[in-house]
Each structure stands twice: as structure tokens, then as C-alpha cells.
Amino acid sequence: MTTRFRRLKAALTWTAFILGSMILVGAFVNAIYPDDWRPTEATVIAATVADGGGRSPNSVVRVRARYDVSGHPYEAPFNVFRHNKRPPAEVELANWPAGRTFTVYFNQSNPASASLSADGGRQAMTVLAVLMTPLIAFFVGLTIVVMRRRRKRAA
């Protein structure tokens, strides 16, 4: 085998490994993440402007809301607005007075878990997991290569 062929074979093997891993991780996350989200009306109890966290400065309008599922009341916080500057968040805060109603989605198997997203964030979590897979595969591959080289040197 020529060096060129070996390199091509190695590149194709790694590509197949990474793509296969992305497909498997996406299917796995999609399978384990809850998929039965039902809509219900929530009522704002209180709303505040808070620090959104993260590296870059941003402000969120955080709403504490109450919703009922089968006659049982639940409360949960929701970030209903996000902006990188505080003044727009303070303007948006006026749109979230106590008593306002809005739609939330609760997990049928765990009603205390609620989301503003109709799928409970399932699609976003799957995409994030799939996009992180090459990075993780790179570090696993790098570790394997380093360990093999150390073994060859020790032998």
C-alpha cells in the first residue's frame, strides 16, 4: 500500500466514524428525550428583568407562572425574552403584567416540567448533541493516537 492510499483510507475511516457517531447520537438523544408535550394556559404571577448568564452580557425577562394540569397547580419560571442590552428587556417587561395568560407546554409524564417550546426543546437538544459529537470524537481520537504512540515508544 502506498502512503497516499493509507492516508486516504485513514481519512475516510475517520469521516465514517464521525458521521456514524453523529447519526447514532442524534437518534439516541431523540429517543430518550421526552416527546409527549401538551399545551396548557399559564398565568403570570410575577415578572422581572434578570441577568441571562453566559459569557456575553444579556438580560432576560423572567416570568414566574402558574398552570394547572388535571386539577393540580404547578409553578415554573420561564425566560420569555432575551436581549443583549438591559433597556429593551425593561421595555418588554411591561408586556408581562401579573395575570397575563400565555401558552406553555408540559411533559405528559412529568407535568412539573414545562417549556415555551412545543417539543420541550427536544429538537434543539438533538441538534446540539449532534453538533458536539465531532468535537468529542476528535478528543477521543486524539487520545487514542497519543496512547498508541506512547505504547510504541515504550515497546
22-67 residue pLDDT tens = 899 989 988 888 888 999 999 999 999 988 777 777 888 999 999 9
Q: What is the pLDDT of residues 73-91, one digit of tens each?
A: 999 999 999 888 888 989 9
What CATH architecture applies to the domain 37-119?
A: Sandwich (2.60)
Give the three-class secondary structure for 105: strand
- With residue 149 as reference, give the H or E element that holds it: helix 122-154
Burial class (CB in 10 A: 0-12, 13-18, 19+), 133: buried
Please state whether the predicted TM-score (pTM) of the whole model is above 0.85: no
User: And the C-alpha cell for 140?
Assistant: 477521543
Q: How far apart are CA 65 and CA 76, in angstroms?
A: 6
pLDDT of residue 139: 86
First CA to last CA across the chain, in angstroms?
Answer: 25
| % of the chain beyond a pLDDT of 90 | 42
Inform me whether the pLDDT recorded for 104 exceeds 90.
yes
Domain boundaries, the chain: 3-33+128-154, 37-119
pLDDT of residue 1: 65
Q: How far apart are CA 27 and CA 22, in angstroms?
A: 9
pLDDT of residue 68: 95
